[in-house]
Structure 1
């Protein structure tokens, strides 16, 4: 029995060193080699950090593109979905309110034209991207609000569209924060 206790203690010490010291140091080193040096990919404007590329933000003014709704108020510390199923009456009420808001600001839309990502929150509640279709349906509103040619705004959406890896893995998408920053730049 003494033999097994000593083996267990040795194994515990080895695993503690491996998993509590070496592994975290390797992860921190790998993070320092990434784009944001382990601190996240920041988006800068005039030398000032205005947000993070991988965390959504709330835009509610009609002169900006709107992102995907958040179940957690875009709070990265509380990342979560709403956990409400599609038959939950509160969830359905939220969805219908979002659809009504979209139709109020986009009277040219039919309910069936509204992409799901403009009325449903993502699983994390922090999705920074919208589909190209979700950006396209907002072009007219944004152009009218900013008194900019609709073609310029549409071109801006195209320039800020990111294709999936190798054009295979997932749909194209638009980062809302980066698009709105580009929009502010051409509006001035």
Structure 2
């Protein structure tokens, strides 16, 4: 068995629109365990469930306040978001956020955000930079060049987002 490079692993959070204004966020962990966060924006009925592999019922089911559900979902996805009712009943091609940690081979290294040539700018975009050496969540210096280790905040439709992430990995 070979060890996985943590910079190469991708963590996927899936969002499932449910009837009404409810959402289900799922995070598959190694080993097959699934974390589920159920939220309903018009009530305070939110839950965190932990499902072991091949189980039909959760081994943990915690009730969360709306603020706790938003915070936990934000931590899992790496992006702060607000839960609200969907205008459309869950379009399959809705845009999703993600982050990409820059490696030495990335074409974004050495470029300012506006200089990064995004392959499909109408389907996926680079929004911001998260840097460990700044106090702010997002680095606001638009003139600072991207460097190895920076995390880019990206958003896009699923297929285009996957292509953008591959492109940014180099």
Query: Which TM-score applies when normalising by structure 2?
Result: 0.34
Structure 1 length-normalised TM: 0.31
Flag the structure with more relative contact order, 1 or 2, with Cα contacts below 8 A and sequence separation at least 6: 1
Greater strand share, structure number:
2
Q: Which has the larger radius of gyration?
A: 1
